[in-house]
Structure 1
């Protein structure tokens, strides 16, 4: 009988720890998002986008880079940003917040997509891949100019078909990596 009591106590302790860790994760993701938005959100003012202080956006980007390096931008963080974005869209009364959250997702994607380069194959430079990576790393305000200067429909040398092909290939790589990262622990009980 005593063994069952000890087992029940152990199970309850484990459940309690799991619940506690889950709450910590949720709070952590919210705190990380608040820290990222801190340079552009001022409690006493209406949320405006773009921020009045151009330096604020750089501080926000710096915070995202730091948090990503610390491993704090995980699926919980993305879920929090998406939940806040969905809520902001439903409420419809804070378009500035909606734009900020979209910018957070854009910066996050840029960091993640910039981690691995596909612009070189051996000694050969793949110009369309290099062009895509330039756009990924560039601020949103520069995208139109980069596209005009890089594609043959403008002043550039990259055919739109080539550009679409590397975008499609990048999406496929991301999907394969995401599925692998998600399924790997499930398959091997890691």
Structure 2
């Protein structure tokens, strides 16, 4: 059945300059400004206390103005440095610089670029000719930068559309045409179908960093809206299935086809137990932990369990790109297991005390 379920499309907000006609002013000063007093004012003499307070406020105001001016100056210096780098770059370097500084092309940048092209005006013919060449140089730079930025934005939108389509396909088994999607799904097989799709798409390489960024963005929006708990739960489940699938691809209780043995010639049971929890649905964690830990019915001590989780987090940090969505999602999943283990241990210890 076709679904009317839609996901909001994130937008990449970049500022493109709009050219406006200059307003006609006399020497840049508005003629309707009244710079004098329209009537006589009566002034009261200042007391010593009032004078001290006035001086204190004046110092505070001057300090605040100086700080604002310093920040504005530093920002202008940064923008000028970027403009100079862009002017001196060759075509291949220019594209790389634009990509690396894509978020810098805001309103402040374009205003400063326009101001730079307007700083060499002179009555001298030679100076005017130099200004014409410099202005032409800045105009060509602005055109080249805007062209590169436009291509980047277009490609970004294409990636967002692709990631959104993948996400909609994954969520298709658990959504329907109702305005409010129920959670958990009425059909118990829907979650299994969704998990199979995630496993298949991960094998096909479709669940890349762009997809994870899209899911994370949609999840943040759902939390902010606070009126779509079903959608929020679905997106969290997508990330859980993804983390479980990726982390389950590598076993640290085995090395190739040979089991790893400890000094007592025993299989590393703590590693195998962690992998069992990783593969299990989140709603089954409590039972697995109770049955597997020594504080419950099992053979794995809480200390050994926490130790293998810590090792797995360290390995994940080494094997994934620093600061990536993949790294954050996988480590948060492992920390979620650790937190659940601590809660179960506290509960069981409290009951036996």
User: TM-score normalised to the size of structure 1?
Assistant: 0.83
| 1:38 alignment partner, SS class | helix
Runs of 4+ displaced beyond 6 Å: 10-16
Bigger helix fraction? 1
Q: State the distance in 2 between where 1:179 and 1:66 align.
A: 23
Unaligned runs of 5+ in 1: 183-190
Q: Which residue of 2 aligns with 1:160?
A: 302
The alignment yields a C-alpha RMSD, in angstroms, of 2.4
Matches of 2:227 and 2:148 in 1, distance apart?
42
* Matched residues, number: 176
Task: Evaluate the alpha carbon distance shift between residue 46 and residue 15 of structure 1 in structure 2; reply closer, same or farther with a 3 A threshold.
Answer: closer
* CA displacement, residues 88-108 of structure 1 (integer Å, 9 cap, x when unaligned): 111000111111111000000
Residue of structure 2 aligned with 1:103, choices 237, 242, 245 = 237
Residue of 204, 210, 216 corresponding to 1:76: 210
TM-score norm. by structure 2 comes to 0.46
Task: State the match for 2:273 in structure 1.
Answer: 131
| CA displacement at 1:51 relative to structure 2 | 0.1
CA deviation vs aligned residue, 1:7-49 (integer Å, no higher than 9, x gap): x9x9998776644432221111111111100110112341111
Q: Is 2:282 aligned against 1:148?
A: no
* In structure 2, C-alpha distance between the alignment counterparts of 1:56 and 1:95, rounded to whole Å: 18
Q: Map 1:2-21 onto structure 2 (within 5 A).
A: 18-21=152-155
- Unaligned runs of at least 5 residues, structure 2: 1-90, 92-140, 262-266, 325-353
Q: Which residue of 1 aligns with 2:314?
A: 172
Q: Secondary structure at the match of 1:115?
A: coil
